[in-house]
Amino acid sequence: MAHIVIIGAGIGGLPMAYEMRDAARAEDRITVISKDAKFHFVPSNPWVAVNWRQRADIEIDPSEVLARKQIDFIPTGARRVHPQENAVELEDGRKIEYDYLVIATGPKLAFDEVPGLGPHDGFTQSVCHVDHAVTSERAWQDFVKDPGPVVVGAVQGASCFGPAYEFAMILDADLRKRKIRDRVPMTFVTSEPYIGHLGLAGVGDSKGIMESAYRDRHIKWICNARVERIEDGMMHVIEHDDEGKEKRRHELPFKFSMMLPAFKGVDAVFGVEGLVNPRGFVLIDKYQRNPTHRNIFSVGVCVAIPPVEATPVPTGTPKTGYMIESMVTATAHNIRALIDGREPAETATWNAVCLADFGDTGAAFVAIPQIPPRNMNWFAQGKWVHLAKIGFEKYFLRKMRKGTTEPVYEKVVMNAIGIAKLKQPGG
Ligand code: FAD
């Protein structure tokens, strides 16, 4: 009997538990440890933040389905991973021993790196967690009663830019519906070197398309931006030139702001020797396996991947759903291989596929492989993306409720755009 422990029950962790159940032997034990008792579908948080969804619409309690699949569930946070002891210490002091560990904790949100950033001690909202989206929604309801300037974007070191673009467009669409868009000057502030860079050095003509969409919607932008500090109603931004030198200082008044933070690794692994890089992201080889602690694997946003290119203001590379899905499948097969005494052989497909909602329309991008030059570099927009995103949400939530393991991207998204078979060699 092998005991496989998964930390995290999010977009990576919960499918990981289901796929591991399918891949493991009947006698193997699987345990999921999660600090959140419920799963929530992170990509729908921006909709919760404008009351287009209720929290309950995008959350599920996984305890029943996990029990049915004979997977143990511990809804308690992990305090520390102890690789030397093959154990995870929980917040309540218990220690859970493992034969194989999968770390799927997502990121720690580094709000503390910019004074005044974030919904806890700062002055900006967030959509990274459903709790934040709920807080943001309350602020939005107050805002629309007495509107003013809006600032949306992503600070220095951020890697997940898509949701910032989505949220700016969703706010624009919501304001237009309310017929108060004319009272709201909007500015997009980003560490990216240009609009549509997305942490991926652009995808197709993402620059042209996104700039045009922003012009069309009267959203101004500041790129190469480092947010120096945020006060109540005022953001201090330093714009840089292409060489990273200070170019101009901006003082941006706002009545509502949502800024995505930089990510780092969670405290439970931060600083664990051989396990993580200096930012706390889990080091993995091409089999999702930690090179030092060989019975530890990792999937999702918490893995270490290098930036696609150096930018004047630091940016990171996004880890999106398709990539995460393929990391999960590879990990399940590789752990089974080790259980059977074989070497891991499965690798993830490091491709970026994303649907970004713009409220009533949307944009889809496919970057294969993620690092240019690429075999496929495709970016398109249209109303169909908005509808596809709703379909994707429903499909993913259904899959999580039922505990099934069919690959959503391979089956739905990639097939829909006719590229299911295009993979990297070895992928
Ligand atoms: P998460 O889904 O965040 O899950 C992390 C899990 O770990 C949670 O269950 C959490 O409770 C648990 N956890 C954390 N710390 C601990 C601990 N110490 N102990 C125990 N449990 C812990 N990608 C796309 O492809 N398409 C999209 O449309 C898209 N939209 C996005 C929108 C937003 C607002 C954001 C922030 C990201 C989006 N992404 C999107 C990127 C990515 O797919 C998501 O961030 C995704 O949620 C990452 O999955 P994950 O499993 O790594 O982390």
CB 316 within 8 A of CB 157: yes
Can the peptide bond before residue 15 be classed as cis, meaning omega within 30 degrees of 0?
no
Q: Residue 355 forms beta bridges with which residues?
A: 364
Quote the domain boundaries for residue 62.
Answer: 3-109+264-348
Average pLDDT, the chain: 94
Q: Choose the final residue of a domain: 232, 263, 294.
A: 263
Residue 121 lies in a domain: yes
pTM comes to 0.96
pLDDT for 381 equals: 85
Buried b (16+ CB within 10 A) or exposed e, 318-349: bbbbbbbbbbbbbbbbbbbbbbeeeebebbbb
pLDDT at 342 > cutoff 50: yes
Query: Domain check: are 229 and 288 in the same one?
Result: no
Residue nearest to atom 30 of ligand 1 (CA): 43
Q: 108-112, 310-314, 346-350: which has the minimum mean pLDDT?
A: 346-350
The answer to whether 354 is a known catalytic residue is yes
List helix spans (H) across 265-378. 321-339
Q: Choose the final residue of a domain: 281, 313, 348.
A: 348
Q: Return the CATH number at 185.
A: 3.50.50.60
pLDDT for 296 equals: 98
pLDDT tens figures, 230-257:
999 999 999 999 999 999 999 999 999 9
CA atoms of 363 and 186, how far apart (whole Å): 20
Angle ∠(69,73,76) on CA atoms, nearest 5:
165
Query: Domain check: are 166 and 251 in the same one?
Result: yes
CB 166 within 8 A of CB 47: no
Q: How many whole angstroms from 97 Cα to the centroid of ligand 1?
A: 25
* CB atoms near residue 126 (< 10 Å): 25
Measured from CB, residues less than 6 Å from any atom of ligand 1 are 7-13, 33-36, 42-43, 45-46, 77-78, 104-106, 127-128, 160, 162-163, 266, 268, 300-302, 320-321, 324, 354-355
Q: Indicate the top mutation candidate among 11, 152, 166 to test ligand 1's pocket, ranked by most ligand atoms within 8 A of CB.
A: 11
Contacts of 139 (CB under 8 A, 6+ apart): 125, 256
Q: Choose the final residue of a domain: 348, 364, 379.
A: 348
146 token code pair: 């007495």
Kindly state the average pLDDT of the residues 186-190. 98
Query: Domain check: are 162 and 91 in the same one?
Result: no
Residues counted in the chain: 427
pLDDT tens figures, 360-386:
899 888 888 887 888 888 888 889 889
pLDDT for 417 equals: 63
At 419, the pLDDT band (50, 70, 90 cuts) reads: low
pLDDT at 219 > cutoff 50: yes
User: What CA–CA distances, in Å, run from 137 to 56, 74, 80, 322, 394?
Assistant: 14, 30, 33, 28, 22
The answer to whether 302 is a known catalytic residue is no
Query: Domain check: are 128 and 87 in the same one?
Result: no
pLDDT at 427 > cutoff 80: no
User: One of 128, 223, 302, 354 is an active-site residue; which one?
Assistant: 354
More confident residue, 287 or 392: 287
Q: Indicate the top mutation candidate among 41, 61, 130, 301 to test ligand 1's pocket, ranked by most ligand atoms within 8 A of CB.
A: 301
Residue 368 lies in a domain: no
Residue 348's nearest CA partner among 393, 305, 381 is 305
pLDDT at 415 > cutoff 70: no
Query: Domain check: are 36 and 69 in the same one?
Result: yes
